[in-house]
Amino acid sequence: MSYSTLTDAAAPRDPKRPPAPIPPHEQPGSTPGLRDYWTFFLNARRNLISAFTDIAYEQPFVKRKLRGAETWVVSEPEAIKRILLDNAGNYVKSQQQKRRLEPALGQSLLLADGEAWRWQRRTTAPAFQHKKIVGFAPLMVAAAEDMLARWDKEALPERNIAREMMGLAYDVLSRTVFGRAAPLAADRMGKAIDLYLDTAGRMDLAAMLNLPIWVPTLGRLRARPALNWFKAEIGGAIRERRAELARGIGSDSGDLLTMLLTATDPETGRPMDDQLVYDNALTFIVAGHETTANALAWTLFLLSEFPWAEARVSQELAQVLGGRTPGADDVARLTYTRQVLDEAMRLYPPAPFAGREAIEDDVLAGAPVKAGTQILVSAYILHRHRRLWEEPDLFDPERFAPGRREAIHRFAYIPFSAGPRICIGMAFAIQEAILLLATILQRYRLTLRPGHVVEPHATITLRPRGGLPMKLERRQ
Ligand code: HEM
């Protein structure tokens, strides 16, 4: 079955293939041996997206057996719907995901399951309501304006745009999470998150062998300084804000930290203790800044690779904004810019893998799944699946044109996941990405340094390995 949209004869595809590893070939029906697993492990450690063989991109699911436990890579939209929505309670966050993130993010919304997750979701949901997010728009644009003022002043001919976008997305979160409090030092924070993702985030043998979470790995030991830094900085901001609130100051300041400190479960009235406030504040920063920064970096890279798309975005910005500062109302009007963003997140989903574990036996895509099975839902594989997309490796924003995006199966395109555990920051991130792109692209044209080879590299997020050196040209 194919869920993809039909080809639009009026919009010829650009045959240039944006960079992505070619999956190694695997003979369908063959049984992988120890050597294949070892090759998989080495490839996964180097770059998780280069480890999966071509059959993962062709079959509804692929099964692997390791230490007696089965792992399934599922890429069939109806089966994904069952995992993420219809029978979501049966598929809890996997030990692998917990092992990598729990040392930093504790029992936050991202990692908790069952009732421990449900009450946190209920309690934090009001902070991400439409009205709240619209209220953040001026802060988002101000962060971009400050970055552009720095670019104007320094007038460098070239910048590492991947790093710039990290700094910018981090600045947006500093302003929205911490509000009036002095934002945490962006450089230090960026370095701490980098260190954490490069160490604890990497595929390690312990994770692959599903060793219990308490087994210390080299990666986790190396990540410890980053964790200590998070604790000191964010813990300090929390203590400061608690003290202010106790003195009756700033309860209406509208930032996410104040919301976490004052929110109560609408059903039970339970507030969050300092540890949970810490876990969630750090989760918002880690889950919200890397991902959005990568979405922006990949979009800017693709616009540089495909000048016809860049010309159309510029035209749209001129028509809709005419040079003025964008606001929340403009997000829905910038439809082509949104199509390019959506296509960038299809080719380069910022969060390329989600792991789950089946609690009880179930049936997926007509096949029985045993309790304890590890489930991998990969937006990266799904978004490039041969059965679901026409020319899946090519860049084509027309897939998301109004009237055509509706033909895409809801569970075939999941950059923000889906179902009850859909990214709580989705609307925040989309508004942010469109406003930042509009602000940057009205002022600058960006082109990749000629000859620079871009390689998508996956750990927990999907980044351009070695950054994105881009030439900056100030528009008149
Ligand atoms: C382009 C940007 C973003 C992308 C692609 C993205 C993607 C995702 C994905 C795929 C998940 C599900 C993970 C899983 O089920 O294993 C998720 C969950 C989550 N995201 Fe995002 N995210 C983005 C931005 C943000 C922002 C800006 C925030 C907060 C300010 C945020 C906070 C969270 C949280 C707290 C969860 C856990 C939700 C739950 O389990 O109930 N994300 N995100």
Report d(CA 180, CA 250) in Å as an integer: 9
Does residue 299 surpass a pLDDT of 90? yes
Q: What's 240-284 look like in SS3? A: HHHHHHHCCCCCCCCCHHHHHHHCECCCCCCECCHHHHHHHHHHH
Take atom 6 of ligand 1 and give the residue whose Cα is closest.
Answer: 416
* Pairwise CA distance, residues 26 & 32, whole Å: 9
Ligand 1 atom with least separation from CA of 356: 16
Residue 474: in which H helix or E strand, if any?
strand 469-474
* Mean local confidence (pLDDT), 106-125: 93
For 387, counting Cβ atoms within 10 Å of its Cβ (0-12 exposed, 13-18 middle, 19+ buried), the class is middle
- Ligand 1 centroid distance, CA of 74 (Å): 20
Range of lowest pLDDT (88-97, 116-125, 210-219, 325-334): 210-219
pLDDT digits (tens, 9 = 90+) for 158-215: 999 999 999 899 889 889 988 754 455 666 666 777 666 665 555 444 454 444 434 3
Report, in angstroms and rounded to the nearest whole number, the Rg of the chain calculated over CA atoms.
22
Take atom 10 of ligand 1 and give the residue whose Cα is closest. 416
425 touches ligand 1 (CB under 6 Å) = yes
Mean pLDDT of 271-299: 92
Interval between CA 202 and ligand 1 midpoint (Å): 19
User: What's the CA gap between 459 and 440, in Å, rounded?
Assistant: 28
Which ligand 1 atom sits nearest the alpha carbon of residue 414? 10
Report whether pLDDT(3) > 50.
Answer: no
Identify the residue whose C-alpha is closest to ligand 1 atom 27.
Answer: 288
Interval between CA 416 and ligand 1 midpoint (Å) = 6
Span 127-145, mean pLDDT?
Answer: 95
Cβ 464 vs Cβ 454: under 8 Å: yes
User: Does residue 423's CB lie within 6 angstroms of at least one atom of ligand 1?
Assistant: yes
**Residue 338 token pair:** 């949104």
Query: From CA 439, how far away is CA 319, in angstroms rounded?
Result: 14
Compute the half-sphere exposure of residue 232: CA atoms within 13 Å on the CB side of its CA.
10
Range from 66-80, 217-231, 447-461 carrying the lowest mean pLDDT: 217-231
| Among 175, 277, 423, residue to substitute to test ligand 1 (most atoms within 8 Å of Cβ) | 423
The whole-number average pLDDT for the span 7-25 is 74
Q: Name the pTM for this structure.
A: 0.92
- The Å distance, Cα 260 to ligand 1 centre, comes to 17
CB 446 within 8 A of CB 151: no
Answer whether 417 contacts ligand 1 (Cβ < 6 A).
Answer: yes
Grade residue 86 by pLDDT with cuts at 50, 70 and 90.
very high
User: What's the gap in Å between 283 CA and the centre of ligand 1?
Assistant: 9
Give the pLDDT confidence of 404-428 residue by residue, as tens digits.
Answer: 999 999 999 999 999 999 999 999 9
**Would the CB of 347 count as within 6 Å of ligand 1?**
no
Candidates 208, 456, 272; CA nearest to 349 is 456
Coil, helix or strand for 185? Answer: coil
Classify domain 34-474 by CATH architecture. Answer: Orthogonal Bundle (1.10)
Torsion sign across C-alpha atoms 191, 111, 408, 315 = negative
Atom of ligand 1 nearest to the CA of 415: 5
Spell out the alpha helix ranges (H) of 34-94: 34-46, 77-81
173 or 327, higher pLDDT = 327
Q: What's the average model confidence in pLDDT over 358-380?
A: 95
**Domain range annotation of the chain:** 34-474
Per-residue pLDDT at 128 exceeds 90: yes
